[in-house]
Amino acid sequence: MPMKTKITRRGFNRILGMSGGSLLVTPVIVEAGIASPSQTEGPFYPIAEQDDMDMDLTQIQGRTGRATGKVVQVRGRVLDIDGNALKGATVDVWQANHFGRYSHPDDTNPNPLDPDFQGWGIMQAGDSGAYGFKTILPGPYDISETNTRCSHIHFKVTHPDRAPLTTQMYFEGDPLIAVDTVMEDTPEELRSLLIATQVASKDEGVPVYQWDIVLG
């Protein structure tokens, strides 16, 4: 059943391109009693201080340019294994840019950096567990001569009453998921829990991906 979720965090409507103070959340079937599987943090968790940590990763405060690449919206809820909302959960996201490179000193990828891409954001989920952000579809990148990472976004999700989760989110329809080495380390029966579904609605004319996060 569709759920209309009230968002009270200041500025959330602007970031998500919504109006009227509400967010229409398309429900995703959550396996009862099954937490979202964890995945590696990877070597590129941000270490540089940055002033702009909001959830519009397509533009950096104080700059007039916009990030290069396909703009997407990601939204969902943070839930416990019984499907209850986890109000106030911290959602920490980071990712590669359109070219498949992280803004991290240890990323030696020869692809270019994007000075207009924020790449890292942190927010607290609302009363209904809702979170959301605007970003660029991350580019795939090679990790060896034979291995390519597909498009993915890293998540750290914490709540004082639940075990923390570090994992990665993938995009429905990406053919590289089938050969992604990190996804291959996740049991096959759990992989679908890490894939965001593109929903029919669009905000600001851009695709919207829905992904619920379940903390054990």
CATH number at residue 50: 2.60.130.10
Do residues 15 and 56 touch, judged by C-beta distance below 8 A? Answer: yes
Of 101, 102, 131, 159, catalytic: 102
More confident residue, 146 or 58: 58
Please give the DSSP secondary-structure letter assigned to residue 138.
P
Looking at the predicted structure, is the pLDDT value of residue 6 above 80? no
Of 77, 101, 104, 154, catalytic: 154
Write out the residue range of the structural domain in which residue 142 sits.
3-215
Cβ–Cβ contacts within 10 Å for residue 53, how many?
15
Looking at the predicted structure, is the pLDDT value of residue 7 above 70? no
How far is 183 from 191, CA to CA, in rounded Å?
Answer: 7
Measured over the CA atoms of residue 54, residue 153, residue 24 and residue 2, the dihedral's sign is: negative
Looking at the predicted structure, is the pLDDT value of residue 16 above 60? no
Is 154 an active-site residue?
Answer: yes
Kindly report the length of the chain: 216
Confidence of residue 144 (pLDDT cuts 50, 70, 90): confident
Do residues 90 and 122 touch, judged by C-beta distance below 8 A? Answer: yes
Looking at the predicted structure, is the pLDDT value of residue 18 above 80? no
Phi, psi of 178, deg, nearest 5: -65, -20
- 0.75 exceeded by the pTM? yes
Q: Which pLDDT does position 204 carry in this prediction?
A: 73
Q: How many domains does the chain contain in total?
A: 1
Average pLDDT over residues 189-208: 89
